[in-house]
Structure 1
């Protein structure tokens, strides 16, 4: 056991080897979105289900709005500095360091690299430097693979997604967050030497679409999710969270998870 292994156990469930990470870091670039306007309330409601292994958030939300009832893992978003109001959303820089993460008591850090974007070089170098810094303190690093607007069409291309996952690992990330591809996702996982977890991306049309996406990713070798709006923008976020937990940690198939979702929705009414 060392520091990194101890911290990773706060993120990835030792029994299942998988993780359910809820991301609430969207506000740093997108502002007060539906579902996280009252972000403290959203966190409190979803935390009360005891289904969340770990949270991904910025230092501002950790400091001002995070008050869990238990002791879930926390991944500190450590890159940012760009918003939808600015000229280029992919121009991120470092917004936190390992010393700050240790002082806050979090379990990992996260930084984005925008592979294929105009700021690919800068963001990959930032990821590599953060990996070096994290290694000094046995702090795990989540590598978030972003695309940028010019690469949106490549989100479904498994070769491009596989490239980004591998590149993130090559630059020092211990876990990769990337997009699910409906075809050949197992090739994305096979070419990445560290655990791969899927992002939610844009809001799915239905909760069933979300369940199908997560199940497909798990079948393809993903170790779980790092997902936000597809959970907390659901009409029934707590019920959906239970169904997602069933997929990730209880080996449910989509029908079983959908039945659980329907049952919990009915109970709420």
Structure 2
């Protein structure tokens, strides 16, 4: 393993566990709550215990001064909710541009089961090849998403994370199946680490219960976006999530001790 790759992995995790806050949604859904003043949000979530934050390359200069030593991931494809097909993620940057933006890792999104899957597989495979030449870790946001595809079915999610490994990704992010027992099949489907996607915001307790279930199933962490940056108290919410991921706290303990 390249020393540079290991050094960068250590910047986006803590003791093999990951709390990542993706904030690339400005392209997807626009300048929503928590993303207009992204500097304030980055400062809050990293003070709360986020191991890494994630944005598109264009926001790098707004991220670095406020991330309090946490890792930085640059996302390399996107689509919008206003476009003809939100599942049709197109490239927004290169590995070289991510390095120039100060990234510790790169990420890309793939919708397994969508009409756009073939192109995204090809792009993802090329991206992992180039990233490996730079010693740069790759996070694949690999979802089961497309016509007649159950986005939370454990077998579909297992297929998605296995695909991520097969094309060279180092970490696979995917949705939660709804319970810890079925999510074990997802975590066991690949040898690369799996982290749980936050998905649509729910109550604080429900989000923390999902995180706890994923960790119990063998995931090494979570990547929560909207449920964090749209939260009225993102710092406390991240602190609660971090307690579950890093300290294996109970949901009740996390809620009480985080200040939520």
Q: Pick the TM interval, shorter chain.
A: over 0.9
Match of 2:68 among 64, 67, 70: 70
Q: Which residue of 2 aligns with 1:157?
A: 153
Moved more, 191-200 or 35-44: 35-44
Q: Which runs of 4+ in 1 moved over 6 A?
A: none
Match of 1:116 among 113, 116, 141: 113
- For 1:149 and 1:191, how far apart are their aligned partners in 2? 21
Match of 2:83 among 82, 86, 93: 86
Q: Which residue of 1 aligns with 2:132?
A: 135
Q: Which residue of 2 aligns with 1:217?
A: 214
Q: Deviations over 1:34-71 (max 9, x none)?
A: 2323222222232333x111011111121345422522
Report if aligned partners of 2:121, 2:167 keep a CA contact under 8 Å in 1: yes
Report if aligned partners of 1:200, 1:227 keep a CA contact under 8 Å in 2: yes
Q: Which residue of 2 aligns with 1:173?
A: 169
Deviation at 1:251, TM superposition (A): 2.1
Moved more, 232-241 or 99-108: 232-241
Q: Deviations over 1:102-133 (max 9, x none)?
A: 22221110011110000000011110000011
Q: Which residue of 1 aligns with 2:187?
A: 189
Gaps of 5+ in 2: none
Q: Which residue of 2 aligns with 1:229?
A: 226
Aligned length: 257
- For 2:171 and 2:137, how far apart are their aligned partners in 1? 8
Q: Where do residues 254-265 of structure 1 align in structure 2 (5 Å cutoff)?
A: 254-261=251-258, 264-265=259-260
Q: Where do residues 39-78 of structure 1 align in structure 2 (5 Å cutoff)?
A: 39-49=38-48, 51-68=49-66, 70-78=68-76
SS state at 1:150 partner: coil
Deviation at 1:236, TM superposition (A): 2.8
Q: Which residue of 2 aligns with 1:208?
A: 205
SS state at 1:154 partner: coil
Report if aligned partners of 1:43, 1:66 keep a CA contact under 8 Å in 2: no
Deviation at 1:238, TM superposition (A): 1.8
Q: What root-mean-square deviation, in Å, do the aligned CA atoms of Structure 1 and Structure 2 show?
A: 1.6
Q: Which residue of 2 aligns with 1:10?
A: 11
Deviation at 1:254, TM superposition (A): 1.4
Q: Deviations over 1:203-251 (max 9, x none)?
A: 11x1000110000000000110111111122233222221111111122
- For 1:66 and 1:87, how far apart are their aligned partners in 2? 33
CA 1:147 to 1:208, structure 2 compared with 1: closer, same or farther past 3 Å?
same
